[in-house]
Amino acid sequence: MTDAVQFGSYTADGASPAPSFVVELTEFSGPLDLLLTLIREEQVDIYDIPIARVAEQFLARIRTMALNDAADYLEMAARLLRIKAQMLLPRSDGSEAWDDPRAELVRRLLEYQQMREVVDVLERAGEARRSRFARAYIPLAAAPPEAPLALSLSELLAAVDRILRTAKDPTMHDVIARSVDVPGAIILIRALLALRSHALWTDIVKRDAEPWQILSTLLGLLEMAKMGECTVLQPRPFANVEITSDAASEAA
């Protein structure tokens, strides 16, 4: 159990504000905090705690705070009651040897109080730092989500009508995957090179060639160059590619 009651999976004891719904049941950060507060309120000596009175107060506080299911607090309540019972046991005359049953509790309270002192130091230091800004890359504020469209049916139909009138020829296209035809392209290039030994890229690719045709021609041309049927030369970047037939010179 943490300082606050938990519902489901959220954390009530977290350092950062938990995103979910959190009920802070108490201003105390634990049973020792509550105990120290009681001791302070009762103005009693921490080395000589009137256990019976403090235990009673402790239980009363838990009850009013509806912390019955807070195991941490109940554990402390049980501890207090046990110390109370031990205090009631008759002591032997040799009071020197008497072990004060409160000793362990006092040690823990002092330890806790010391920690709280450090908390005060940290809190002051944290506030001092929080009150100064560093140079920082301020994250851009996220754009607020657009308001949901509030349209009537007639407005929607008017919008559709407007779009349909803008599109002059709303023909539908079927997209068909066309495989490249490299052997076909090679036959065409060979036929051209048979007529003349020198050709340009623009001679073998028509102006209105489709992408698959351009690709087929390019691959065919590279294939032929690899087989030594022709020489491909591009004098400068993006210049027209010059194709010279090697087969013609062989035949000559």
Partner 1 sequence: MTPLAKLLEAALFASARPIPTDELAALDADASKAAIAAALDEVRRHYDVDGHGVELVEIGGGWQILTRAEYTEAIERAQLASRPARLSAAALETLALIAYRQPLGRAEIEEIRGVAVGSVLKSLHERGLIDVVGRGEGMGRPLLYGTTPIFLEYFALRHLEELPRSDELAVALKAEPRPL
Provide the β-strand partners of residue 198.
244
| Nearest distance, CB of residue 48 and partner 1, angstroms | 15
Give residues 10-29 in contact with partner 1 (rule: CB under 8 A): 11-17, 29
Of the pair 124, 206, the CB lying nearest partner 1 is at 124
Q: Pick one of 37, 113, 197, 244: the residue that binds partner 1 (CB under 8 A).
A: 113
Q: CA neighbours within 13 Å on the CB side: how many for 50?
A: 11
Of the pair 35, 205, the CB lying nearest partner 1 is at 35
| Nearest distance, CB of residue 66 and partner 1, angstroms | 17
DSSP output for 84-122:
HHHHHSPPPS-GGG---TTHHHHHHHHHHHHHHHHHHHH
Binding mask 31-50 for partner 1 (x = CB under 8 A): xxx-----------------
DSSP output for 207-237:
TT--HHHHHHHHHHHHHHHHTTSEEEE-SST
Binding mask 125-164 for partner 1 (x = CB under 8 A): xx-xxxxxxxxxxx--------------------------
Q: Is 100 in the site for partner 1 (CB under 8 A)?
A: no
Task: Identify residue 130 by its one-letter amino acid code.
Answer: R
Of the pair 45, 111, the CB lying nearest partner 1 is at 111
Cα separation, 69 vs 5, whole angstroms: 8
Strands ordered across the beta sheet of 230-233: 198-200, 242-245, 230-233
Of the pair 4, 230, the CB lying nearest partner 1 is at 4
